[in-house]
Amino acid sequence: MKKTEIFADYDRYILSTYSRTPVVFVKGKGMTLVDITGKKYLDFFPGWGVNNVGHCHPKVMSAVRDQIGRLIHIPNNFYHPHQAKLAREIIRLSFPGKVFFCNSGAEGCEAAIKFARAYGHKPHGVYGHEPNVVHGKASRHEIITMTNSFHGRTLGALAATGQAKYQNGFHPLPPGFKTVAFNDFNALKAAVGNDTIAIMLELVQGEGGIHVAGQEYIRQVRELCTENDILLIFDEVQTAMGRTGEIFAFKHYGVVPDLMVLAKALGGGLPIGALVVKEKIAGTFKPGMHASTFGGSPLVCKAALGTFKAIFADKMLKNTRVMGAYLMERLNALKEKHNCIKEVRGLGLMVGVELAMEGKSVFEKCLERGLIINCTQGNVLRIMPALNVTKKQVDKAVYILEQVLAEVSS
């Protein structure tokens, strides 16, 4: 198929929910993507936060190859070994609890929202009583989320997302959500009421422009939740799987959430999401209360097990900390030279460069020169290379970015 034919078919047959860049990719290996003309790209935003272990990592590929010839899918009213193994691995690396498997970030957030609602419909800590009654009052159901958050595009996740631009045109959204300023503990405390059942946030807001939650803030939020029997939900869809230099970002904060949502990088490129809930409250969900046809199929669980193996065998957490610090240092040096850079911020290899101008042309000019990055919120460059990125590759990316910044600001 020719490039022009592909574009024409997209125009003709695919709903235009995305603004697309006219590049057709056909192959990927590690940090490199190859387009249909044979041009190679250094990928510093692989798979929109999905390919933390790079494109087609051998450990993921061999896991998938091995499984695809045996069994791809079975329904969730039966058992298979890989779902058991993967859940055990996630729990071993996070906190004592239980896992529900789904297919995406939005679906994981929906599961978290439903779980919180179900928890709110029970008398405190007592299971199996009449629903809808808590101490003789209507149930607690309200979920507080943050401005500039992103939790996905399905209606519940969208209602949780604190950005009007994604919600416009889709009202009425499910009620029961309230949004407060991120990193502002007093605003959050003031918003908590008798109906509050959960607080949901990202430890590093990704789509919202790489805003890192403060240490003290998160400690206070955890305390507030514990004191008031409010569920603390960390949406780790983008921050997990080593992205910030820990396998899960919450490990930077010395606190443990009640619920954690995973997706994006979990399957090493294959679609899998998960809701992880603390042991003590896990009994809230009972058979029949939630489901997902494809959730946790043998193929994607095997891929996720391969992804964990890749991260640990290749010592990617350490590399993420070292290369993340190096990348930030190089970008901060650029900031000294180019006043179009307002701020460099991030955690591990989740890095944002806030510009004093629109970032679209920077993204486009980097792409022309063979470097893929992302631009979010109009003026924040999002740079999230695979976790096994080398110093040489960081140097090359920074070199291209510097050339582009010099060009656009001259």
Applying CB under 6 A, the residues found at the interface with ligand PLP are: 104-106, 109, 150-152, 202, 206-207, 235, 237-238, 263-264
Q: Which two tokens stand for residue 328?
A: 């930030």
Q: Which is nearer to ligand PLP, 272 or 327 (CB)?
A: 272
Q: At its nearest, how many Å lie between ligand PLP and the CB of residue 239?
A: 7
3-state secondary structure of 356: coil
DSSP states of 243-295 as a string? TTSSSSGGGGTT---SEEEE-GGGGBTB--EEEEEEGGGGGGS-TTS---SST
- Residues 19, 26: Cα–Cα separation, whole Å: 19
Q: At its nearest, how many Å lie between ligand PLP and the CB of residue 153?
A: 6
Secondary structure in 3-state letters for 136-205: CECCCCEEEEEECCCCCCCHHHHHHCECHHHHCCCCCCCCCEEEECCCCHHHHHHHCCCCEEEEEECCEE
Q: At its nearest, how many Å lie between ligand PLP and the CB of residue 235?
A: 5
- Residues 157, 180: Cα–Cα separation, whole Å: 16
Rg of the chain (C-alpha set): 22
Q: Which residue has the tokens 């949004």?
A: 179
Q: Which is nearer to ligand PLP, 237 or 255 (CB)?
A: 237
Q: Which is nearer to ligand PLP, 264 or 321 (CB)?
A: 264
Q: At its nearest, how many Å lie between ligand PLP and the CB of residue 266?
A: 10
Q: Which is nearer to ligand PLP, 139 or 376 (CB)?
A: 376
Q: Which is nearer to ligand PLP, 19 or 410 (CB)?
A: 19
Dihedral over alpha carbons 102, 104, 109, 114 (to 10 degrees) = -30
Q: Which two tokens stand for residue 1?
A: 């198929």
Q: At its nearest, how many Å lie between ligand PLP and the CB of residue 81?
A: 26
Q: At its nearest, how many Å lie between ligand PLP and the CB of residue 124?
A: 29
Omega of the bond leading into 385 within 30 degrees of 0 (cis): no
Q: Which is nearer to ligand PLP, 211 or 264 (CB)?
A: 264
Number of Cβ within 10 Å of residue 32's Cβ equals 16
Q: At its nearest, how many Å lie between ligand PLP and the CB of residue 311?
A: 18
Strand partners, 346: 351
Give just the sign of the alpha carbon dihedral 104, 246, 52, 334.
positive
Q: Which two tokens stand for residue 373?
A: 């990055």
Q: At its nearest, how many Å lie between ligand PLP and the CB of residue 113?
A: 12
3-state secondary structure of 394: helix
Residues 6 or more apart whose CB falls under 8 angstroms from that of 108 comprise 102, 235, 237, 261, 262, 263, 273, 274, 275
- Residues 290, 271: Cα–Cα separation, whole Å: 19
Q: Cβ-closest residue to ligand PLP?
A: 105
Q: Which is nearer to ligand PLP, 239 or 319 (CB)?
A: 239
Q: Which is nearer to ligand PLP, 109 or 316 (CB)?
A: 109
Q: Which is nearer to ligand PLP, 30 or 105 (CB)?
A: 105
Q: At its nearest, how many Å lie between ligand PLP and the CB of residue 53?
A: 17
